[in-house]
Amino acid sequence: MLQKELEIRTQGRDYDLQSIDAARRQQHESLKKIAQLEGECQRLHSMVRKRLPGLAAIAKMKNEVDQSARATTTLRTTFSMAPMSSRSVAPMLSRPMKPMTAWPTTPRRASEFETCMAKLCMIEDENKALKQTLAKRDVKLQFVQMTLYGPDFHNK
């Protein structure tokens, strides 16, 4: 009877350790994504600040924005922004675990995780706003070029 209780407690401890390990890995992945998005955000800030003359530069800028949009789409497909309670860490683990223990068990870890997720969402929103601003400036630049140089300049 004591042996059985000891096995149950050991198994519970193992599940808790797996849960902590999974939360730590997920937090590490989130931090990497945050760093990547912050880098992309800085790059977009610098692109918006620059004045790039000519159609070749505009085409280059469009390509860069498209590439960053593809990268963001890839991030979104690999990391769903669903609510915490509906997600499961189990697919990320090499060994199966119970869904109840898939998230941080301590309130401190849960709040750290929530903070990282909130920061990730804010950075993604900022990137989206920067891309929209860049697109608006692109349209304005094309309009100015059309008015200054005529419609033939844009088609060259």
Longest CA pairwise span in the chain (Å): 90
The candidate with the shortest Cα–Cα distance to 24, out of 120, 105, 118, 121, is 105
Average pLDDT value for the chain: 74
- 100, 120, 98: which is closest to 26 by C-alpha? 120
Q: Are 104 and 19 a contacting pair, CB within 8 Å?
A: yes
Find the mean pLDDT for residues 143-149.
80
Residue 146 token pair: 């059309």
> Mean pLDDT throughout 47-59?
66
- Alpha-carbon distance 111 to 105, whole Å? 11
pLDDT of residue 71: 66
Q: Say if CB 129 and CB 45 are below 8 A apart.
A: no
pLDDT in tens, 57-112: 667 777 777 777 676 665 555 444 444 444 444 444 444 444 444 455 677 777 88
Q: Around Cβ 120, how many Cβ atoms within 10 Å?
A: 19
pLDDT at 89: 42
d(CA 100, CA 121): 25
